[in-house]
Structure 1
């Protein structure tokens, strides 16, 4: 792909031009179809530098780098010198000194990856694999690829509902940015008032606290994880109450368009955000999202590190 439209690092989808986003999706689709060079990143070292737990994101980045021929190092904060007080920057700079040129970074602090990007050498590329509640750009890309496979390239005809804990969701923010860039016809956001941000994130969206109304005629329902670690803050009365008001059931799904699709970034709290019947049902694209994650991350690594 032509990477002249891409920034040096992939930190966010906010401000990423349509042509760059479209090119990444097109390249990722080629990878999903099995068309790629297994030596594209031969001799390049990539490190998954994760300061937070991860299953899908970390494993798919590892597979993506390996399939392109990169040397992959997996960093585990729990067994590293960070336990002795080493900073994230010192960790990165030491690995960079060993010759690592690609860093896939997850961090609990907002803006942490962008801050680290200010201190790396020319030729080193960073990918934000999720920072705080700010951004998760490759999740946004894989969600768009999955939606495009199901509904076609013209997003202007689509009605998409994002449901749940948007306030704490870096996934939701990246999805919203990508949906806007792709010209989505109508973006609906639904959740309890305590879980919806009031910082401009939802500008231009149709905001609702009524899931039945939000689902009427939608082409896609993008469910979000209810972040149980936030429950101590009293953001919802109980998990049962949340499921009753905002959980996606088979009955509720009948309000959507007949060919509507269901998505979820994982991990799923079954019986809370979504029932088993829906998560494992014929309209669910949840496992396709996981599969597409490898292809999207291949596209991103190739674009940033090749050449």
Structure 2
């Protein structure tokens, strides 16, 4: 059973997790994956609220499936229809949810640092970051590492290339911190206009064609078009030719190298459509593993409040 974490039941980002804590989450994810007979009996009558201020399909549905598999009672709150639009603070929203019996709140929003601030206040609920602007996305990073561990049997010593829109990616940041904690080597790559110098303080940057030749795994990032104010490339074809993962580039990878992507995928932009379902692609395995990781994270949030 995962250890009780009374002071750290929130999940704000991977830089707040130790290697042991992440290993425990992987172990519990594997437990839930392999013990379907235990699902519905896990947490009946326990309430969780999903509070999404930003559009989401995969993350939201993945959390919902995880919650239902655990037998939890799930409440769905659309941020645009919540009382925050009337001027209610997030702190008061969380305290209201706690007062009516909610124990865990899963939050996605556009800001950065807001959840960390809320975690310092005793609102009565455990917070799970489901994606915070360009700040962090811890459950995505955890499911990515879990997928890597499943495939390679280890994380230490792997070379992982994170490529694409680094400047606007919350996924890249959470993965960088987690991979470094396990002793993996991270290489950053992508267009000059999308580089992030703060990330490069902790990982080297290489041109894409050079980086992929060293990759045990290439983690392609979605181009965050909605977060760009400027026009960064002339066409999808132009981006794919210069920075996308094409079949020709995949063939430059080590033969054991795998392809990853947090999705949604802009097919034929950051990755050739034919590679999305390629045998070396783990994209849909990542989606599947997201459910098991989020079951483990929800369990941690509940037990950590002991």
The alignment's TM-score, normalised by the length of structure 2, stands at 0.93
Q: Determine the structure 2 residue equivalent to 1:88.
A: 90
Q: Determine the structure 2 residue equivalent to 1:138.
A: 139
* Matched position secondary structure for 1:262: strand
* Matched position secondary structure for 1:272: coil
Q: Is the 8 A contact 1:162 1:190 kept in 2?
A: yes
Q: Determine the structure 2 residue equivalent to 1:49.
A: 51
Measure, in 1, the Cα distance between the counterparts of 2:23 and 2:240.
36
The alignment's TM-score, normalised by the length of structure 1, stands at 0.93
- In the alignment of these two chains, the number of paired residues is 302
Measure, in 2, the Cα distance between the counterparts of 1:78 and 1:187.
37
Q: Is the 8 A contact 1:49 1:74 kept in 2?
A: yes
What residue ranges of structure 2 are gaps of 5+ in the alignment? none
Measure, in 1, the Cα distance between the counterparts of 2:132 and 2:205.
25
Measure, in 1, the Cα distance between the counterparts of 2:35 and 2:230.
46
Q: Determine the structure 2 residue equivalent to 1:73.
A: 75
Question: Following TM superposition, by how much is the alpha carbon of 1:37 offset from its aligned partner in structure 2, in angstroms?
Answer: 4.3
Q: Determine the structure 2 residue equivalent to 1:198.
A: 197
What residue ranges of structure 1 are gaps of 5+ in the alignment? none
Q: Determine the structure 2 residue equivalent to 1:19.
A: 20
Measure, in 2, the Cα distance between the counterparts of 1:298 and 1:66.
9
Q: Determine the structure 2 residue equivalent to 1:232.
A: 229
* Matched position secondary structure for 2:290: helix
- Residue of structure 1 aligned with 2:294, choices 294, 297, 303: 297
Measure, in 2, the Cα distance between the counterparts of 1:63 and 1:115.
28
Summarize deviations over 1:15-65 as a string: whole Å, max 9, x none. 411111111111111212235442222221100011111111111111111
Measure, in 1, the Cα distance between the counterparts of 2:122 and 2:233.
42
Q: Is the 8 A contact 1:29 1:145 kept in 2?
A: no
Summarize deviations over 1:221-270 as a string: whole Å, max 9, x none. 10000011234323445433221111101111011111211110011111
Measure, in 2, the Cα distance between the counterparts of 1:23 and 1:152.
15
Measure, in 2, the Cα distance between the counterparts of 1:183 and 1:40.
33
Q: Determine the structure 2 residue equivalent to 1:9.
A: 10
- After TM superposition, list the pairs within 5 Å mapping 1:170-185 onto structure 2: 170-184=170-184
Question: How well do the aligned residues superpose, as a CA RMSD in angstroms?
Answer: 1.7
Q: Return structure 1 stretches of 4+ with deviation > 6 angstroms.
A: none
Measure, in 2, the Cα distance between the counterparts of 1:121 and 1:206.
40
- After TM superposition, list the pairs within 5 Å mapping 1:254-269 onto structure 2: 254-269=251-266
